[in-house]
Amino acid sequence: MFSALSRQPDDALLALIGLYRQDPRPGKVDLGVGVYRDEEGHTPVFRAVKAAERLLLDSQDSKSYLGLEGDTVYLDRLWRLVGGETGARLSAAGVQTPGGSGALRLAADLALRGGARRIWVGMPSWPNHAGIFSAAGLEVVPYPFFDSASQTVLFDRMIEALDGAGAGDVALLHGSCHNPTGAPLSSEQWALIATTLEKRGVLPLIDLAYQGFGRGLDEDAAGLRHLIAAVPESLVAVSSSKSFGLYRERTGAIFAVAAAPAAADLARSNLMALARTSYSMPPDHGAAVVRTILGDEALTRDWIDELDGMRARIQGLRRILAAGLRGVAPALQSIETQEGMFSLLPLSEAEVLRLRSEHAIYMPTSGRVNIAGLKTAEAESVVAKFAALR
Ligand code: LMR
């Protein structure tokens, strides 16, 4: 059976990690996979995470199963962080998942059970979005979202596309820090998206994977808070990978949000049944860490301080890149006002490969750059190499 299988292409983003590691050149630059790095090129464990882990080591007295729902205290505290006061007024059925990817998969499975057949995805998007949704059995309907040459959101085309969606369709939205473009949406744009989806009877699925990396914890959730209050039902997939630096601990959650408690409850029952036949129960550790941090005022303050520092570092790098690229392409000034780890440079695949072979600068062939992978000291020389391509 196995020998009849066809070989699958490597995941382009994850394969970059291996290529970068194998490159012996000193001064190589990794702008690939979306993990935060500090000025030493290191992905740190948050101080608050270490402190919470110490507390857990002393206090945890069992490794018995968590249950299908996962850690319910984690879910309550995480939902408060994501939904704020708006979320508290709505009914949210949360289920802990293995990372944000697990949340997206459960969301797609639930939508299919609810009768959805199609999901609208603005392009470009994180490449695994389409992969996860198609693997679940949803038809992915792409529409143009961003033009990288002019660095603009194609908002009219987005609304036109969503206005053509049918009742019972799903629409994917990035909560903040759009991956791969970093392009923000204004509150007026969120309001128009909400009106359009509500009018068409489309279920929003909001992917919130970078809360705190854009403008701030509340600011990064403002659009989604508006949206979930404006529609009768929505799904919010949350990742704690970046916001708490828990990448490998696979920590996330899916929230089914409804105005009516009974509807949310039905969603929870189905999400739990879907989890049972997929991975059964989620891993404990990452959620226990988040629960511990969010349940302790001093740890929460320290976590937010460190997160604020990460965001400030990225914003500083954005300023340097925008200034350096001013003379190269005026549109690239937008890098400064884009949010989160990523921006999408208008580079051809050949140019990306040249940067890799000639200068040991690594990024996916889409031209997406993980700005958090840069060190301040190397930013200007990287800019000069981009500029030299023109
Ligand atoms: C990314 O886009 O680089 C991250 O979300 C990591 C991943 O799993 O692809």
Q: Looking at residue 327, what is its pLDDT?
A: 84
Q: Looking at residue 370, what is its pLDDT?
A: 97
Among 37, 128, 176, the mutation site with the greatest number of ligand 1 atoms within 8 A of its Cβ is 128
What percent of the chain stands above pLDDT 90?
96
Residue 163 has pLDDT above 90, yes or no: yes
Residue 146 has pLDDT above 90, yes or no: yes
CB 238 within 8 A of CB 206: no
Q: Looking at residue 57, what is its pLDDT?
A: 97
Average pLDDT over residues 156-161: 98
CB 94 within 8 A of CB 267: no
Strand partners, 203: 170
**Binning pLDDT at 50, 70 and 90, where does residue 32 land?**
very high
Q: Looking at residue 229, what is its pLDDT?
A: 98
**Binning pLDDT at 50, 70 and 90, where does residue 326 land?**
confident
Q: Looking at residue 242, what is its pLDDT?
A: 98
- Three-state SS across 204-246? EEEEECCCCCCCCCCHHHHHHHHHHHHCCEEEEEEECCCCCCC
Residues involved in catalysis? 126, 207, 242
Q: Looking at residue 328, what is its pLDDT?
A: 84
Instruction: Please state the length of the chain.
Output: 390
Ligand 1, residue 101: give the atom nearest the CA. Answer: 8
Is the Cβ atom of 100 under 6 angstroms away from ligand 1? no
Is the Cβ atom of 341 under 6 angstroms away from ligand 1? no
pLDDT tens string 98-109: 999 999 999 999
Ligand 1, residue 209: give the atom nearest the CA. Answer: 5
Q: Looking at residue 38, what is its pLDDT?
A: 96
CB 271 within 8 A of CB 110: yes
Distance separating alpha carbons of residues 126 and 122, to the nearest angstrom: 10
CB 268 within 8 A of CB 95: yes
Residue 287 has pLDDT above 80, yes or no: yes
- Which H or E run includes 345? none
Is the Cβ atom of 94 under 6 angstroms away from ligand 1? no
Which residue segments constitute the domains of the chain, with CATH numbers given? 10-45+299-387 (3.90.1150.10), 54-297 (3.40.640.10)
Q: Looking at residue 164, what is its pLDDT?
A: 97
CA of 195 to the centre of ligand 1 (A): 30
**Binning pLDDT at 50, 70 and 90, where does residue 40 land?**
very high
Is the Cβ atom of 247 under 6 angstroms away from ligand 1? no
Atom 6 (ligand 1): residue with closest C-alpha? 34
Using left for φ > 0, alpha for ψ between -120 and 50, and beta otherwise, residue 182 falls in left
Residue 314 has pLDDT above 80, yes or no: yes
pTM exceeds 0.95, yes or no: yes
Is the Cβ atom of 91 under 6 angstroms away from ligand 1? no
Q: Looking at residue 195, what is its pLDDT?
A: 98
Q: Which residue has the tokens 């359009």?
A: 196
Among 33, 101, 371, the mutation site with the greatest number of ligand 1 atoms within 8 A of its Cβ is 33
Residue 148 has pLDDT above 90, yes or no: yes
Residue 390 has pLDDT above 80, yes or no: no
If DSSP codes are grouped into helix, strand and coil, which group holds residue 96? strand
Distance separating alpha carbons of residues 344 and 331, to the nearest angstrom: 12
**Binning pLDDT at 50, 70 and 90, where does residue 389 land?**
confident
**Binning pLDDT at 50, 70 and 90, where does residue 92 land?**
very high
Q: Looking at residue 304, what is its pLDDT?
A: 98
Q: Looking at residue 329, what is its pLDDT?
A: 85
Q: Looking at residue 194, what is its pLDDT?
A: 98
Distances (CA, A) of 338 to 53, 91, 174, 178: 34, 32, 14, 9
Mean pLDDT (the chain, rounded): 97
CB 380 within 8 A of CB 320: yes
Q: Looking at residue 52, what is its pLDDT?
A: 98
pLDDT tens string 188-237: 999 999 999 999 999 999 999 999 999 999 999 999 999 999 999 999 99
